[in-house]
């Protein structure tokens, strides 16, 4: 198969952050997802809130109870390259991943992004070989394998799909990853996706409406007419469409226990439209919690959340508050993951995600054996930009696709700078 960079563009590494027991809990309504690695606050002109290491955020008690999401485009200081290749070698990030996992965090690597345009795989066989290479590169290390591993012996907790362009043969790719994860029973692995809120999502529908078992979706409720900024307490006037995604979870998803997380911008410059201050977001959270599929909140991104003082804490409090009274349904106690049941906690869970573009594989070998030998370019493009990719190529910015024009809610906190280019958003 061709160089893997022609098929996939690394986007985000997600980590479950916060608290002593902050693993991603698919039985909980208190998960928080926050992207890390893009440093979008400084990219949008912000000052004084530079991005810290992944390990720094895992150590921060203020982030107990959520799912921060990570972007590696601004982590060049933590990486060099494998000799004779352009593949990023990031041992510091690998150590941070293990440290975060020891603290109970869940780390996922997301594939895709707003700037991905390669079109996918040539065939189903190529897609399956690509999945095998991803697993060999980021899953459990195989004895004798010659596959280069940017994070060393660190093992990710799963993978996230964030395709915002049409991608060929993604269902067999996702199914192969699911099968490889399910065969490895030493721990629970997660498969997630980050669609935009208009339903059905044009780019991810092959995965979401097909035979792929997804554990959770982080729906981007911003940059579109269906965002949280268009929520109205009078449901007849509300364009916020969480109910539509809840219906997908119940009637379309291959996994009937799939969780839906509400994706929001963490500050005024984090997205083109859709930012809502935490005081108003609490009403949206209370409404959304009445749906059985609700699993928490996703934020873009960590630097924006830290610059917007109090936002993360206020969202955590809103998640811990009472559910909306009307038609609240008791959520199932069954785990949403096919592999094993996640632990339950009473505190919000936090997860981190990081943008890691560029891990390419030109080897056509898809053998699961430890002797699989991929050329240095195999994981090279997907990970070379993983830590150092420029914002324009590693961001997860959804392309605004409103089906009807609306006037976005005016944020209470005026931005200090103009909104950054689209490529700086998830």
DSSP for 77-111?
Answer: GG-EE-TTS--EE-HHHHHHHHHHHHTT--EEEEE
Contact assessment for residue 397 and residue 422, using Cβ atoms and an 8 Å cutoff: yes
**pLDDT at site 424:** 42
CA pair distance 298, 303, nearest whole angstrom: 14
**Are the beta carbons of 22 and 413 closer than 8 angstroms?**
no
The Cα–Cα gap between 112 and 124 comes to: 18
- Paired tokens of 225: 């007419």
pLDDT tens series, the chain, 426 aa: 444 444 444 444 454 443 334 578 899 999 888 777 667 666 666 666 677 777 887 776 555 333 333 335 555 567 888 888 777 888 998 998 898 888 888 888 878 755 455 567 889 999 999 899 899 989 999 888 888 898 999 999 999 888 776 778 889 999 999 999 999 999 999 999 999 999 999 888 889 998 899 999 999 999 999 999 999 999 899 999 999 999 999 999 999 999 999 999 999 999 999 999 999 999 999 999 999 999 999 998 888 988 999 998 999 999 998 765 444 333 333 333 443 333 333 445 545 554 433 333 323 333 333 333 333 333 332 332 232 222 232 333 344 444 444 444 444 443 333 333 333 445
164 is catalytic: yes
3-state SS class at 217: strand
Sequence-distant (6+) residues with CB within 8 A of 395 are: 38, 40, 71, 73, 113, 114, 115, 355, 422, 423, 424, 425, 426
Give the DSSP H/E element, type plus range, for residue 337: none
- Residue 64 is predicted with a pLDDT of 39
Choosing from 5, 42, 69, 164, which is the catalytic residue?
164
- pLDDT, residue 288, reads 98
pLDDT by residue (tens digit) across 58-106?
Answer: 776 555 333 333 335 555 567 888 888 777 888 998 998 898 888 888 8
Q: What is the pTM of this model?
A: 0.73
Which sign, positive or negative, has the C-alpha torsion 70, 73, 74, 75?
A: positive
pLDDT computed for residue 20 by the predictor? 38
- Burial annotation 292-330 (CB, 10 A radius, 16+ → b, else e): bbbbbbbbbbbbbbbbbeebbebbbebbeeebbeeeeee
**Which has the closest alpha carbon to 418: 230, 271, 304, 308?**
271
> What domains lie within the chain, and their CATH numbers?
4-424 (3.20.20.80)
Asked if the bond preceding 200 is cis, omega within 30° of 0, the reply is: yes
The predicted structure's pLDDT at residue 403: 46
Please list the residues that pair with 298 across neighbouring strands.
33, 263
Instruction: Dig out the tokens for 113 from the structure.
Output: 């992004």
Q: Residue 35 has what pLDDT?
A: 77
Neighbouring CB atoms inside 10 A of 54's CB total 31
């Amino acid at each position: 198969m061709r160089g893997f960079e022609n098929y996939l563009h690394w986007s985000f590494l997600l980590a479950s952050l916060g608290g002593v027991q902050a693993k991603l809990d698919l039985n909980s309504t208190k998960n928080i997802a926050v992207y890390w690695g893009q440093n979008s606050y400084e990219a949008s002109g912000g000052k004084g809130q530079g991005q810290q290491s992944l390990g720094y955020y895992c150590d921060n008690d203020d982030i107990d109870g959520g799912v921060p999401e990570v972007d590696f485009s601004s982590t060049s200081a933590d990486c060099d390259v494998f000799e004779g290749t352009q593949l990023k070698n990031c041992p510091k990030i690998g150590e941070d991943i293990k440290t975060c996992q020891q603290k109970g965090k869940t780390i996922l690597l997301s594939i895709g992004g707003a700037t991905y345009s390669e079109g996918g795989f040539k065939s189903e066989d190529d897609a399956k070989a690509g999945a095998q290479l991803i697993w060999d590169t980021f899953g459990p290390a195989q004895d004798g394998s010659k596959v280069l591993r940017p994070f060393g012996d660190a093992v990710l907790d799963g993978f996230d799909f964030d395709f915002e362009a049409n991608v060929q043969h993604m269902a067999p790719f996702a199914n192969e990853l699911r099968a490889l994860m399910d065969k490895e029973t030493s721990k629970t692995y997660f498969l997630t996706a980050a669609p935009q809120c208009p339903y059905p999502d044009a780019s991810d529908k092959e995965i979401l409406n097909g035979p792929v078992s997804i554990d959770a979706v982080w729906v981007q409720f911003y940059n579109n007419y269906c965002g949280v900024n268009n929520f109205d307490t009078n449901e007849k006037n509300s364009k916020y469409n969480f109910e539509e995604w809840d219906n997908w979870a119940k009637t379309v998803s291959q996994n009937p226990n799939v969780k839906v997380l509400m994706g929001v911008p963490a500050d005024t410059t984090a997205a083109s439209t859709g930012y809502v201050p935490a005081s108003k977001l609490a009403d949206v959270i209370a409404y959304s919690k009445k749906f059985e599929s609700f699993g928490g909140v996703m934020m873009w991104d960590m630097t924006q959340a830290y610059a917007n003082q109090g936002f993360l804490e206020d969202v955590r409090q809103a998640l811990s508050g009472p559910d909306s009274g009307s038609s609240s349904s008791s959520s199932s106690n069954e785990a949403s993951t096919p592999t094993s049941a996640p632990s339950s906690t009473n505190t919000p869970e936090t997860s981190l995600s990081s943008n890691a573009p560029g891990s390419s594989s030109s080897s056509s070998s898809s053998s699961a054996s430890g002797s699989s030998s991929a050329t240095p370019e195999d994981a090279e493009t997907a990970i070379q930009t993983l830590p150092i990719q420029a914002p324009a190529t590693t961001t997860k910015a959804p392309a605004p696709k409103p089906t009807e024009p609306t006037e976005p809610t005016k944020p209470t906190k005026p931005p200090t700078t103009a909104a950054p280019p689209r490529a700086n958003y998830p």
